[in-house]
Amino acid sequence: MSQVALVTGAGQGLGQTFSARLLQAGYRVVVTDRSLDAAQASARLLDPAGERTLAVQLDVGNKADFEQALNQVLTHFGALHVVVNNAAVTKTTPLMQISPEEFDAVVGLNLRSIFLGCQVLGAYLADAGYGRIINMASLAGQNGGTATGAHYAASKGAILTLTKIFAKEFANRGVTVNAIAPGPIDSPAVHAAVPAEKLAGLCANIPVQRLGDADFLGDLIVQLARPEAYFTTGATWDVNGGLFMR
């Protein structure tokens, strides 16, 4: 029986791409989104027969939603093995124009989603003795951001720390926790954040001179989700075209 992976924010964009790559790799996939309609539409697109997907409404800022989603997964598939914490809110408000309320909303949701996903779903995986958690961070959390807002960048930087914290918590219970920090990816989110007339300039400032590939990110998730990836935990995987080098 194939393993089960849950992806947050999978109603569109990168989350949908990640779900597609996991399906292609043989996983059964729980497609979650704050909007049930979006989750269902994405699941139908990815798996028209509906045999290997489950659409679930999940507000990643709500602990009860995570608990309910887990119950739905266990009822439908009987198990959960992989969690991809992808959902996030992106804002590009200039630094000095960010209100306290907007700061709290962006940082709160982006961090809370990772914390709750790791806490609620991670606890189940640890009790089961096996699991893989992949948190989506960002280059913005490493270099202070380029086309994104300061609150987004700050939240993504903190995700790297939460990843290490949960990696240490679960390391001796068969669960790995890693982060992926993409730079500008050829994705709807980047095209929405960067005006078309500025896209060429953005690419010119990337050492490899082009946007990243979303499918490659999905393939990296598949690799980190493999049972053989047991020796990789607490790590951040950089996919940024050379914009940030350790």
What residues act catalytically? 152
User: In Å, what is the CA distance from 19 to each residue of 9, 15, 81, 100, 151?
Assistant: 10, 6, 14, 34, 27
Q: What angle do CA 150, 61, 222 make, to 5 degrees?
A: 80
Structure tokens at 69: 């989603």
Residue linked to tokens 């997964």: 73
Please say whether the dihedral angle defined by the alpha carbons of residues 179, 182, 186 and 188, taken in this order, is positive or negative: positive
User: In Å, what is the CA distance from 162 to each residue of 45, 88, 115?
Assistant: 33, 15, 7
Instruction: Specify which residues 33 forms β-bridges with.
Output: 57
Structure tokens at 4: 């089960």
Furthest CA-CA distance within the chain: 53
